[in-house]
Amino acid sequence: MTNKEKYKKAFLAVYPSGEISLEVEKMKKIKNQHIFKTTAAAVAVCVISMASATAAYAMDVGGIQRTIQLWFHGDCTDATIQFDGDGTYSMEYTDADGNENFRAGGGVSLSLDGSETPMTEEELMEHLMMPEVEYEDDGSVWVYWLDQKVDITDKFEDGVCYVKLISGEETMYVTVKYQGGYAVGPHKYAMPDSWSCE
């Protein structure tokens, strides 16, 4: 008989006391709690890693991009637009001639107390849907709004042109000061002496 077998035989009849059994049970609970805490910590690290990766991606992109339909020079066009949350936007679109174009802008709203608030997505979209005036290389002047293209080159009197645009139930009044800016309103024409653009 080996020493190992002798020790086994000698202690086979010895049973642990109740205190030792309780201590063993406490140690098992502590071990299980440790495994649970370690697993919970590992899951938390994974979640934090994924969240930070998503935040880093969003920060790299600068915002959420989406495809919308807008009117450019009287043509309905798909544009990829990104609102950056600070009152600015950037977008890419292909014009009717197949040229890739990039456009960006933004602004702030002024309160009565003079404080500035970055424009919201809704305000920026409203701005993008307003009539625009463009001076072409051939010397012509055009007003664009939704599906409308109006050549106003020969309609200036004393350097000012008034254009009324109607689309369905919506009406826009455009006052154009030749090479000096333009004003748009849904109710009436702006008076060129009451505003100035440099």
Q: Which stretch, 21-35, 111-125, 139-153, has highest mean pLDDT?
A: 139-153
CB 105 within 8 A of CB 123: no
Q: Report the run of H or E that residue 148 belongs to, with start and end.
A: strand 148-151
* pLDDT, tens digit (0-9, with 9 covering 90-100), for 47-74: 565 555 444 444 444 556 777 777 777 7
Total residues found in the chain within this entry:
198
Give the burial class of 81: count Cβ atoms within 10 A of its Cβ; 0-12 exposed, 13-18 middle, 19 or more buried: buried
* pLDDT, tens digit (0-9, with 9 covering 90-100), for 92-115: 888 778 888 888 888 888 888 888
Query: In degrees, to the nearest 5, what angle opens at C-alpha 121 toward C-alphas 150 and 125?
Result: 10
Residue 45: count other Cβ atoms within 10 Å of its Cβ.
10
pLDDT of residue 110: 80
pLDDT of residue 44: 57
pLDDT at 8 over 80: no
pLDDT of residue 56: 40
CB 66 within 8 A of CB 93: no
